[in-house]
Every structure is written in C-alpha cells, then in structure tokens.
Amino acid sequence: MKILLTGFEPFGGEPINPSWEAVKTLHGYRGRVEALQLPCVFDLCLEQLGSRVREVGPDVILAVGQAGGRAAISLEKVAINLNEARIPDNAGGQPRGTPVVPGGPTAYFSGLPLKRLTARLQDSGIPAELSYTAGTFVCNHLFYGASHLAEQLPRPPRVGFVHIPYLPEQAARHPGSPHMALSMLTEGLKGICDELIAGGEEMEEIDAIAGTTH
C-alpha cells in the first residue's frame, strides 16, 4: 500500500497552512507515505499532482486542506465539478462558475471507507466528522481533479480528501475560531494512514449511520 499524501502552501493571507505542516511530518511514514506540497492555484495544483502520481504510482491519493472555522477533522464525501472562488488563488486566479473538467461528471464520491476512517479517529479521541461539501475553492478543485485523473489511469488509485482546522497560532489571529494542535492533526492523519494500510486494497467500509439533516 503506497499513499501519496498532499498538503497545500499557505493562502488567503495566512503565513502557514496546517495541511502542509501536518502532512510533511508523515513523509516516509512506515515506508508507505510520500508527502507532496501543492500550490494553492487552480489547474497548477492538478498539473503537479498528475506528474507525481505518474512517477510514484500510488494506491491511494489522500489530499489534505485547511478549513478555517471547522472544529474537527472533516473527511469529505463528494467533489463537484465547479470552480467558484470567493477569493483569488495564490496566482490571482478567481474562476466563477467554471467546471473543473469541461464535460466531466457532475460529481465524484470519495473512494475511501469514510465511515471506517471517521470511527477510527473518534475512537482515538480525535474530533472527526463526515462532510458532504468540500467547498468550491482549490480544495474541491483538487479533489475533483484527482478523482478524474484516477479514472484515466491503467491502475486507478483510490482518492480522498480531508479538511483540517486552523492551528492554534492561526486561531489567535481569528478570535473565536476553533483550532486543533499540530500533534493531534498529525496523529489523526497517521490514524487514517494506518487504517488504509491495514485494510489493503479492499479497504472495506463499516455499517454505520451517517448523514446530515441540513
């Protein structure tokens, strides 16, 4: 089981991005994980991901992104074929109502056993939740684009996306914002990787109730 774990560079005026701060600590973990930093730029992030995927040939692509305002590690269920940028990306791009992949499917679902992974984190005392919106910024763009890329490959990797909260030092600049310590974020990502490695190529889902009412 080979996992390509990605995080983003800082964006939106933040000096750090918790996704990369956590992801980079897992480079080489158990000899199965490769960490990759991606630019917070539409299209360019997919170009760089595609190049690395073709070089590495991972079994799993697990992308991680910052979600300021969220209090838990959020395992994303769905990526939609829509770019709608409230703020510019790091290259100044601000697409409005464009598709990630022209002519592509409306959406892709995560290829990972999200209920199983969420339960693993919760059982470890780490706040975790299933999420049904990855937004419409570069995170969703990457999640959708990676899923589309996977379908074009001879041996498609499974694709997933995880949003994580601010670090405490970020939350200090955003009064009232929830946050999570880097050590807990790192342990959460380790737990996800451990569960994926243990599950192997099958990675069966568990039978559990999930969903939201709004």
Catalytic residues: 76, 139, 163
Ordered DSSP codes for 38-100: E-SSTTHHHHHHHHHHHHH--SEEEEEEE-TT--SEEEE-EEES-EE-SS--TTS---EEE-S
CA distance 54 to 59: 11
Q: Provide the token pair at 140.
A: 């969703």
Assign 139 to helix, strand or coil: helix
Q: Provide the token pair at 98.
A: 């464009």
Strand partners, 101: none
Helix, strand counts (H, E) of the chain: 6, 10
Rg (alpha carbons) of the chain, rounded to whole number: 16
CA distance 51 to 181: 32
Alpha-carbon torsion, ordered 46, 195, 23, 109, to 10 deg: 30
Ordered DSSP codes for 101-145: STT--SEEE-SS-HHHHHHHHHHTT--EEEES---SSHHHHHHHH
